[in-house]
Amino acid sequence: MDKSAPADLAPAAATDCRAPSTSSGPTVGVALGAGGARGLAHVHVVSALNELGISPVAIAGASIGAIIGAGMAAGMTGAEIGDYAVETVGKRGPIANRLWSLRPASMRDAFGGFRIGHFNLERILKAFLPDAIPAEFASLKIPLQVMVTDYYGQRSVVCEGGDLYQALAASAAIPALFMPVVMNDRVMIDGGILNPIPYEALKPLADIVIGVDVVGGPEGDGTHMPTRIESLFGSSQLMMQGQIALKLERSRPDILLRPAINSFGVMDFLKARQIIAATAATKDELKRALDARFTAILRG
């Protein structure tokens, strides 16, 4: 990638990872966006494709989108991903038990300290993600592209080989909350910072590209003074929405979904069941959009 290009406009470099289609019909690629707990809405996208019998030729994801994309690429269904999320991050008891299991000599060592911004996400993911997600990209059933941000390189980078958990941790390493991840001697942070919905990487690989935006934005009556944490996450949302707007001006996915997630916070994982219930309409919306796209393509 040309480092002289503006970081927010420069495309991420990626190699061809097209998988052979299992159908004679149009191929589908799925880009699952960043958004923290809001990204649990992605399970409906996975479920819609499951119910239609569509296996994507490639998946791309940023942050929570990369994590759910990994589950899908490993062969999990949308229902399995949703149920697993509700039973783990959606309940206080299981969260406490899994965090306790992380301790080596002490809980402090397990997280690299309890200071904000120093939580070790790679260790946390290994404790929380299902066994179905393999350690390496090569063991996935569907090619997966995980977006990360090179902090000092000021560019978006695509990970599609090697250590899967390390890539997922880097992609979801929200600044000021989680530790950055060092990959190939480079400091990497949240992939959603520069590329919240990485659909452009899939355009050469699939006939129909689906992009799912779960970034959302600050919600309120316009007079409520946000807390420091609300300001931190809200300003990040505004920045990412700016990135999305720039991307959409240049090129749009064939299908763009925006589930109703604004009433939920980035870290509202304990509301997993409510988030999934509130965004259930996304499944039928995608089915209708795919039907229209398939019909248009087949009619020529």
pLDDT in tens, 124-157: 999 899 999 999 999 999 999 999 999 999 999 9
What pLDDT, on a 0 to 100 scale, did the predictor assign at position 235?
85
The position carrying tokens 């977006």 is 147
Q: What per-residue confidence (pLDDT) applies to 100?
A: 52
CB 271 within 8 A of CB 279: no
Residue pLDDT, tens place only, 44-96: 999 999 999 999 999 999 999 999 999 999 999 999 999 999 999 887 776 66
Q: 47, 150, 190, 213: which is the annotated catalytic residue?
A: 190
Q: What does the pLDDT read at residue 10?
A: 39
Residue 196 and residue 33 in contact, taking contact as beta carbons nearer than 8 Å: yes
Which CA distances in Å does 109 have to 27, 105, 118, 167, 295? 46, 7, 11, 22, 56
For residue 89, the model assigns a pLDDT of 86
Higher pLDDT, 124 or 279: 279
8 Å CB contact between 168 and 183: no
- Tally the residues of the chain: 300
Going by pLDDT thresholds of 50, 70 and 90, the confidence category of residue 22 is very low
Rg over alpha carbons for the chain, rounded to the nearest Å, is 18
pLDDT digits (tens, 9 = 90+) for 205-236: 999 999 999 998 877 777 888 887 778 788 88
Judge whether residue 114 has pLDDT over 60.
Answer: no
Listed residue (295, 293, 288, 214) closest to 257, CA to CA: 214
Range of weakest confidence among 1-10, 34-43, 283-292: 1-10
| Model pLDDT, residue 115 | 47
Q: Within 10 A of 134 (CB to CB), how many other CB atoms are there?
A: 15
* Structural tokens at position 106: 């002490």
**Residue 90 burial (CB count, 10 A):** 22
Whether 221 sits among the annotated catalytic residues: the reply is: no
What is the reported pLDDT for 181? 96
Contacts of 54 (CB under 8 A, 6+ apart): 28, 290
pLDDT tens for each residue of 5-21: 333 333 444 333 333 33
Mean pLDDT, residues 182-186 taken together: 95
Which of 63, 156, 171, 236 is catalytic? The answer is 63
Q: How far is residue 252's CA from residue 266's CA, in Å, rounded to a whole number?
A: 25
- Chain mean pLDDT for the chain: 86
- Sequence-separated contacts (24+) of 275-279 with Cβ below 8 Å: 275/37, 275/38, 275/40, 275/41, 276/40, 276/41, 276/43, 276/44, 276/82, 276/85, 276/86, 279/40, 279/41, 279/44
Residue 190 appears among annotated catalytic residues: yes
Q: Are 294 and 26 in contact (CB under 8 A)?
A: yes
d(Cα 127, Cα 121) in Å, to the nearest integer? 10
